[in-house]
Structure 1
């Protein structure tokens, strides 16, 4: 049995001794035979070039840290830098193991003295490793540790500014309250006074001499807006006002049709974002509430989108324009991803995010840009035109760490349902083309591809009969909706003719 366990783990990039004599000897033999490289006590990496070995170690740094220093907390600069710092270090706090460095090829674990997990620290999956809460990280980075292990004062200030723009004054007050509770167990009372002073300065106009960054000194001027994005939104709005769009009545607004449309909407919206189940598994989750035991978070993602697409209080209600638009978006994001604390559901992003070479709106500008962009929606005809605009607004700002695509499609459909029009799903086969059309507007300022693509797929969706789920799924299979390769398949209409 021990040997079979070792065989089963051979596909892993990094392997660990587990205290089973037979299995551990098997790892040692493989290392002697040159199949594995021992990089630390009980830690083995698949053989390769020096660059390959370093890459494997960095990709698996969380597993290695949990094995080498169980119960440690990713802290200080690492909690700000996403784990590995620019100097290829991971800073860990531990109550009994500290003031030392554990070196591996391409990675060093820097152990600092600090308490174990505190309220708010996030456990990293099933690993015995934790991530410092935002409040803990702020306090620790205001300490006097080495410059290579902590963020600078300006970086701390910039993080607070991002939090202020993302979650308004209430967000900073919440950080201050939680930090106050952590100050004593962390031994960081002095650091708390510094943090309290920074927050106080940001929340008042009396910031002279306290704030140092340009962004901090500009806070009193109001919530910043990404004006280049607003110009892009205006380009789309102008095109939408002058384009003739399909006027498709809602084909699945009541009864079983409404349930089945919401089901396929949730299925496709999650599938193209990487949450992949078979149709049968998804049907059991949504229609029979049978959560897949091995994938509870993915199961709840399916349910989250379904509920927002089906329930009366969200299906046909668009967030109000202005500052309230952001608040309602946050609430729907919280509902959609409430079982994924690692993506901070309900809270705006704190770090920049990207799609390829495209950098989305900076965290500090998210709230202002969404509020301003939503106001522009009122100058666009209701229904299809305004729905397309809402989709692009949210997708282009990308206000959350995860779930932006799903949320953008839900708000698009809320506008369609509110105005009595048929909702839109993006079938798997059409998704690459849809993304290309988004990119054409983002990078080249061309709105026509996106408008045309969504118009065509709206007509495609409205042609199916949603009364019987089995018949619907069969019809969509014949239309190649579930296929993934546009090079091999073409999307067909419900009647078998070519759709795109």
Structure 2
């Protein structure tokens, strides 16, 4: 890998060799006393990767601060794919203001203090310490024609303070204020300290002051929220607004069809969460009151989900305020999980929860995030979009210790039913596709996969509406819904001509069984 070479090095023989190699074309000169070995990668990439070494050489008495201190890296226009686009580094140093340019890098340093206590030595240069970067970024600045504003401004500092409060608690903001009070005179930031003090006071609700960010206003109002979750919700709404409204009418219009539809959704919704029963046993649990001796809690999960889905009510969440919405989901969760007292039915979580690599909203941010989510929700007019939004809101916040997935799908179905639209059922065979779609939005902020997945599930769900539970089971079987081996089955619109066979309590098209066991001799069981 190519490296950066500096002169003078203290070794005159080495320095002469560097000059000879440069004259012979074996080294590229970046700036006075800075050379780079030839490489297959563009020189701009090499320079940007080694920015800290270069600024340490060129501005040895400087501190990377202002926007660079806040970001911890050079600023570069993210919309530009051009390798040659400059990256900007902002420094403070006890010297006259100046700009130094290198291939792909602009070093902009202002007259100011060099390293002070709390600044961080970093591979040859210095980074502004955690308190200094907050004060420095409260200094007003403007963007230039060729680059960004030097500082991030009060809104970014406010967001950082809110994040620190969420991570370390309110006492940490008091510590920041005390440390900033001592530091401000040393770096000529007394005016900025006044602004910082007001921001912290507003966030801690100890004084009246203007806050400008969504999360700042929420914390100042006593209901802090998770800005990353809200950002994902906004992305989902923005994407939904670009698509034509989906309007697949609800075919479950008779009591028998409603019963069959609610049962199938309850069955599959629990299977997704790992509560697995043969569908025949689930029929006995729901309609005959037979609870499995060894798994009574699992049996109640299916029954509790069914009881909510068969009697959803006809009022959209858009018709109530945030307090009523929160009351409803807590009561629904209490009823849903009442057989599992250890998960604290009806009470929000008090410890963080996660699924794999996905971390959900922190406990102290749950109520505020739900409230802000409902503010966004009420701006949505399309009922299908509202249904997907409320599902993802509850899934991404994960407000309870358990049962979040089932509750989120119940509330989605409630929105659809209130608008006369078909329910969305996610069957066993589509489980991994569905979870991947959720992860794409939760982890990468990509909403399109989630929306398309649920649109497809709704088309299949409408096609599987049936006048009885037995007929619904048969229709879903013809859609490959009960198949667990996704390598040999894909969810599809049911085909009445497809022959069905049941093995080990699982009904599926004959070609599915043939594909996973051509001999026909393999025993099957759940």
TM interval, shorter chain, is 0.5 to 0.7
For residue 258 of structure 1, give the secondary structure of its aligned residue in structure 2. helix
Distance in structure 1 (CA, Å) of the matches to 2:471 and 2:219: 57
Q: Structure 2: 5+ residue runs without aligned partners? A: 1-165, 171-203, 207-217, 499-526
Residue 193 of structure 2 corresponds to which residue in structure 1?
A: none
Residue 250 of structure 1 corresponds to which residue in structure 2?
A: 250
Residue 339 of structure 1 corresponds to which residue in structure 2?
A: 339
* RMSD (Å), alpha carbons: 2.7
Distance in structure 2 (CA, Å) of the matches to 1:246 and 1:494: 21
Residue 209 of structure 1 corresponds to which residue in structure 2?
A: none
Residue 59 of structure 1 corresponds to which residue in structure 2?
A: none
User: Aligned pair 1:457/2:457, yes or no?
Assistant: yes
Give 1:254 deviation, angstroms: 2.5
Residue 479 of structure 2 corresponds to which residue in structure 1?
A: 479
Residue 358 of structure 2 corresponds to which residue in structure 1?
A: 358
Residue 264 of structure 2 corresponds to which residue in structure 1?
A: 264
Distance in structure 2 (CA, Å) of the matches to 1:311 and 1:472: 19
Q: Which has the higher helix share?
A: 1
Give 1:474 deviation, angstroms: 1.8
Distance in structure 2 (CA, Å) of the matches to 1:431 and 1:479: 14
The answer to whether the Cα contact below 8 Å between 1:366 and 1:399 also exists between their aligned partners in 2 is: yes
Distance in structure 1 (CA, Å) of the matches to 2:219 and 2:235: 29
For residue 242 of structure 1, give the secondary structure of its aligned residue in structure 2. coil
The answer to whether the Cα contact below 8 Å between 1:265 and 1:425 also exists between their aligned partners in 2 is: yes
For residue 477 of structure 1, give the secondary structure of its aligned residue in structure 2. helix
Residue 440 of structure 2 corresponds to which residue in structure 1?
A: 440
Residue 24 of structure 1 corresponds to which residue in structure 2?
A: none
TM-score by length of 2: 0.52
What are the residue-to-residue correspondences of 1:101-116 with 2, within 5 Å?
A: none
Distance in structure 2 (CA, Å) of the matches to 1:223 and 1:384: 28
1:416-460 deviation digits (Å, cap 9, x = unpaired) = 000110111100111100111111111211111111111111011
Distance in structure 2 (CA, Å) of the matches to 1:321 and 1:447: 26
Distance in structure 2 (CA, Å) of the matches to 1:225 and 1:406: 23
Give 1:232 deviation, angstroms: 1.4
Residue 494 of structure 2 corresponds to which residue in structure 1?
A: 494
Which stretch has the larger CA shift, 391-400 or 435-444?
435-444
Distance in structure 1 (CA, Å) of the matches to 2:300 and 2:396: 26
The answer to whether the Cα contact below 8 Å between 1:318 and 1:418 also exists between their aligned partners in 2 is: no
Distance in structure 2 (CA, Å) of the matches to 1:385 and 1:396: 16
For residue 259 of structure 2, give the secondary structure of its aligned residue in structure 1. helix
| CA distance 1:224–1:465, shift in 2 (3 Å) | closer
| CA distance 1:403–1:444, shift in 2 (3 Å) | same
Residue 241 of structure 1 corresponds to which residue in structure 2?
A: 241
1:18-55 deviation digits (Å, cap 9, x = unpaired) = xxxxxxxxxxxxxxxxxxxxxxxxxxxxxxxxxxxxxx
Give 1:464 deviation, angstroms: 1.8
Runs of 4+ displaced beyond 4 Å: 218-221
Give 1:341 deviation, angstroms: 0.2
Residue 404 of structure 1 corresponds to which residue in structure 2?
A: 404
| CA distance 1:223–1:490, shift in 2 (3 Å) | same
Residue 317 of structure 2 corresponds to which residue in structure 1?
A: 318
Give 1:366 deviation, angstroms: 0.3
For residue 292 of structure 1, give the secondary structure of its aligned residue in structure 2. coil
For residue 317 of structure 2, give the secondary structure of its aligned residue in structure 1. coil
| CA distance 1:376–1:219, shift in 2 (3 Å) | closer
The answer to whether the Cα contact below 8 Å between 2:391 and 2:412 also exists between their aligned partners in 1 is: yes
The answer to whether the Cα contact below 8 Å between 1:353 and 1:360 also exists between their aligned partners in 2 is: yes
Distance in structure 1 (CA, Å) of the matches to 2:238 and 2:316: 24
Residue 291 of structure 2 corresponds to which residue in structure 1?
A: 291
The answer to whether the Cα contact below 8 Å between 1:424 and 1:457 also exists between their aligned partners in 2 is: yes
Residue 388 of structure 1 corresponds to which residue in structure 2?
A: 388
Distance in structure 1 (CA, Å) of the matches to 2:233 and 2:220: 26
The answer to whether the Cα contact below 8 Å between 1:316 and 1:413 also exists between their aligned partners in 2 is: no
The answer to whether the Cα contact below 8 Å between 1:246 and 1:459 also exists between their aligned partners in 2 is: no
| CA distance 1:496–1:316, shift in 2 (3 Å) | farther
Residue 425 of structure 2 corresponds to which residue in structure 1?
A: 425
For residue 286 of structure 1, give the secondary structure of its aligned residue in structure 2. helix
| CA distance 1:220–1:493, shift in 2 (3 Å) | closer
Distance in structure 1 (CA, Å) of the matches to 2:411 and 2:221: 31
Give 1:382 deviation, angstroms: 3.0
For residue 459 of structure 2, give the secondary structure of its aligned residue in structure 1. helix
Distance in structure 2 (CA, Å) of the matches to 1:219 and 1:231: 16
Distance in structure 1 (CA, Å) of the matches to 2:292 and 2:298: 8
Distance in structure 1 (CA, Å) of the matches to 2:312 and 2:264: 17
Residue 230 of structure 1 corresponds to which residue in structure 2?
A: 230
Distance in structure 2 (CA, Å) of the matches to 1:455 and 1:413: 13
| CA distance 1:497–1:487, shift in 2 (3 Å) | farther
Give 1:226 deviation, angstroms: 0.8
The answer to whether the Cα contact below 8 Å between 1:392 and 1:408 also exists between their aligned partners in 2 is: yes
| CA distance 1:219–1:312, shift in 2 (3 Å) | closer
| CA distance 1:327–1:497, shift in 2 (3 Å) | farther
| CA distance 1:457–1:312, shift in 2 (3 Å) | closer
Residue 41 of structure 1 corresponds to which residue in structure 2?
A: none
Distance in structure 2 (CA, Å) of the matches to 1:443 and 1:229: 10
The answer to whether the Cα contact below 8 Å between 1:370 and 1:397 also exists between their aligned partners in 2 is: yes
For residue 391 of structure 2, give the secondary structure of its aligned residue in structure 1. helix
Residue 415 of structure 2 corresponds to which residue in structure 1?
A: 415
| CA distance 1:464–1:354, shift in 2 (3 Å) | same
Distance in structure 1 (CA, Å) of the matches to 2:381 and 2:427: 26
| CA distance 1:393–1:205, shift in 2 (3 Å) | closer
1:207-242 deviation digits (Å, cap 9, x = unpaired) = xxxxxxxxxxx9875111111211211111111122
